[in-house]
Chains A and B, each alone.
Chain A
């Protein structure tokens, strides 16, 4: 254990901080989520040029070409967070598609897609889940059949965030209907402007449409749109699912959420006394603080393991399950300390931050379910982390084919 930074990293941190100081007038608002704003795209160019976005991506595809260094990545993230300045554009294109193309794409696919994706001018959405293929993702039914020079796609995807403004989709389709479940899938890239695609917003319990449904009716895409070979889509997709699991659950975010709840507890009053003076709420706060500290330290351990290129083991497998649960419990506490005011929502008089904590409380439950539900996470932890046996497969002939 040595939590001091060596001189190289102290210098690097100073470098990041002076960059941020020099460029603070050019940064867009941190809460600006509009993906097409000129200021955001210009900011992305500045970050790319200075190695604060796509830092380790190869130069030939528009990246910065630096050696992977988990500690430097963390120093960058912390410095941006302290300065309250937005980092580079993230999203499924950069986080999931680009690593997949780098690993498995053709030269033409790499040349066509990676640079504009990193620059933020090409936005992607992920077409994986279907109404009948959630936890059992390999059960996807959306079909693609060859007709002349095209794949012809029919079916439906769900949970496609960003589909409403995406240029492209990376998508799992069934191309080999007679093969076993996992061997019948292919990974295909679809231009969202292709005729036959309909995007419908999917309203969730929060009252907002954070997701969409996407319908395909005789959608034609060229044969060369496939990544990997026919029937290898499951393997291709799994290369990126690992990236998604790594993305969720930032431990520093948990402690800063906890501190904002502490502030709320000092401000909110019940019978003239702050809620921080209430023993029961205060005890809940410190309980969550213990857990948030444990998760932060677990995250620091993961940074070290990553920088040593060692496997993260159990410490990595638990992050999605525990991180999402912790966030949800913090939102729960924030609502509880507000009492009746905790139920005020949207533009209600007296609402705190438009009922933001209720939005968190509901959306965080969505995150517990999405991206591999809590129960799927527990299967992964017990099977991969603890080496426990898999559930035996059903033995009827029909069930065997389905597996």
Chain B
């Protein structure tokens, strides 16, 4: 038994981390947020050079054929560097769905770089404002809201709840509404569809594929929050050693030390939980659903605590735009709500265990 990362996983984590630390530095993220899309494309190319996006892609399609744990390590690095990237949707959720359905055609088109998928799964978790899709023949209509990975999507993978389908972004009958969220490092859109041409995924196990897709998405969002929150903790500790008031570093005051200790003590077990939940997706099928929900909900709660506490340690500077700390705060805030907030996800966890009908 070995609970921890092996040598290959540590190397993957290090190489992606080192790359993003430079390539996704805050000044570049700011440019992206201000409307210059260059960073997203640059990161996509850079990550491609590292072979990273095809981590979940089966080897037969030219991918790395690795597991959700490796994907989570990449996602953690993306969260740590608040990197604009469609990774969660395009290379995590979508590839997991296609892999589960055995849809080698679409996998091949992704592997060739021809297709990048955004993913809309919100209504499979809980619908608001009457959103949802219906399929009639090969035409799909209705609304898919909070579709993720819109930065680079050429197509969208959507669900009617029972069936998974793909629509081309530029096809007729799709009206796209760009959403402005607190987190401007990633793009989400609403899609209003009116008889748009739909391509059903292969296979007849769409229910299973949808579950695995959402489980994977939740583990990755938890990993993203883990990375972002770890960075916020490190920034708080560094700032508290540097900033002086009353002729001493504020980090020497117990009030401040204890805030940092609480962040660290709550956050470090989240790392083990994310590792295990990710590992379970591929290796412990009976725990996959439960642990993805516990990871998503628990890490979201701790992430929120760290985001708030780190901002407070930074005092007034934390509240300004000058340090840019708010990019991490907002990334964590968005991850919490996407693919089911903590309460909704916990209720699913209870249902899964037969604790409620």
Contact = CB atoms under 8 A, between A and B. Distances in A.
A9 interface: yes
B356 interface: yes
Interface in A64-91: 71
A386 B349 contact: no
Contacts of B241: 387-389
Given A276-B356, A293-B298, A297-B272, A385 B264 contact: yes
Interface stretch (B159-167, B245-253, B318-326): B245-253
A193 interface: no
Contacts of A387: 237, 241
Contacts of B264: 314, 318, 381-382, 385-386
Given A3-B283, A9-B1, A315 B346 contact: no
B245 to A, nearest CB: 13
A305 B4 CA distance: 8
Contact of B268 (A287, A290, A298, A383): A298
Given A382-B260, A385-B261, A388-B252, A286 B272 contact: no
Nearest to B357: A277
A262 interface: yes
Interface in B124-182: none
Given A286-B349, A388-B260, 5 more contacts: A1-B6, A291-B298, A300-B276, A304-B4, A305-B4
Contacts of A276: 355-356
Interface of A: 1-6, 9, 71, 262, 276-277, 279, 282-283, 285-287, 289-291, 293-295, 297-298, 300-301, 303-305, 314-315, 317-318, 321-322, 375, 377-379, 381-383, 385-392
Contact of B257 (A294, A322, A379): A379
A303 B3 contact: yes
Interface in B230-269: 237, 240-241, 248-249, 251-254, 256-258, 260-262, 264-266, 268-269
A279 to B, nearest CB: 8
B294 interface: yes
Contacts of A4: 1
Of the candidates B251, B269, B294, the one having the most CB atoms from chain A within 10 angstroms of its own CB is B269
Interface string B1-34: 1111110010000000000000000000000000
28 contacts: A1-B6, A1-B283, A2-B1, A3-B3, A3-B279, A282-B347, A282-B355, A283-B346, A286-B347, A289-B294, A290-B301, A293-B273, A294-B269, A294-B270, A297-B3, A297-B269, A301-B3, A304-B2, A322-B269, A378-B262, A379-B257, A381-B264, A386-B237, A386-B261, A387-B241, A388-B237, A388-B240, A389-B252
Interface of B: 1-6, 9, 69, 237, 240-241, 248-249, 251-254, 256-258, 260-262, 264-266, 268-273, 275-276, 279, 283-284, 291, 294-295, 297-298, 301, 343, 346-347, 349-350, 355-356
Across the A-B interface, the 3 shortest Cβ-Cβ residue pairs: A290-B298, A297-B272, A378-B261
A369 to B, nearest CB: 15
Contacts of A385: 261, 264
Contacts of B5: 1
A375 B295 CA distance: 28
A391 B258 CA distance: 12
B265 A321 contact: yes
Contacts of B6: 1-2
A307 to B, nearest CB: 8
A304 B1 contact: yes
B346 A1 contact: no
A340 to B, nearest CB: 24
Nearest to B6: A1
Given A293-B294, A304-B1, A385-B264, A287 B272 contact: no
Contact of B269 (A289, A318, A389): A318
A177 B2 CA distance: 50
A286 B297 CA distance: 9
A297 B271 CA distance: 9
A381 B258 CA distance: 9
B254 A379 contact: yes
Contact of A3 (B256, B284, B356): B284
Nearest to A276: B355
Contacts of A391: 252-254
Nearest to B294: A290
A297 B237 contact: no
A275 to B, nearest CB: 11
B275 A388 contact: no
Contact of A322 (B249, B252, B266, B298): B266
A300 B69 contact: no
Nearest to A289: B294
Contacts of B253: 391
Contacts of A279: 347
A289 B343 CA distance: 13
A286 B262 contact: no
A282 B264 CA distance: 27
Contacts of A375: 254, 258
A385 B347 CA distance: 35
Contacts of A377: 261, 265
Nearest to A9: B1
Contacts of B237: 386-388
Contact of B1 (A5, A277, A297): A5
Nearest to A318: B265
A37 B218 CA distance: 53
A11 to B, nearest CB: 14
A378 to B, nearest CB: 4
Given A304-B4, A389-B249, A297 B275 contact: yes
A5 B272 CA distance: 19
Of the candidates A1, A295, A300, A381, the one having the most CB atoms from chain B within 10 angstroms of its own CB is A1
B252 A315 contact: no
Contacts of A386: 237, 260-261, 264
Contacts of B270: 294
Contact of B3 (A300, A314, A318): A300
B343 A314 contact: no
Contact of B297 (A287, A295, A303, A381): A287
A353 to B, nearest CB: 22
A342 B314 CA distance: 42
Contact of B69 (A1, A71, A322): A1
Contacts of A321: 261, 265
Contacts of B266: 322
B298 to A, nearest CB: 3
Contacts of B271: 315
Contacts of A289: 294, 349
A282 B356 contact: yes
Contacts of A382: 251, 257-258, 260-261, 264
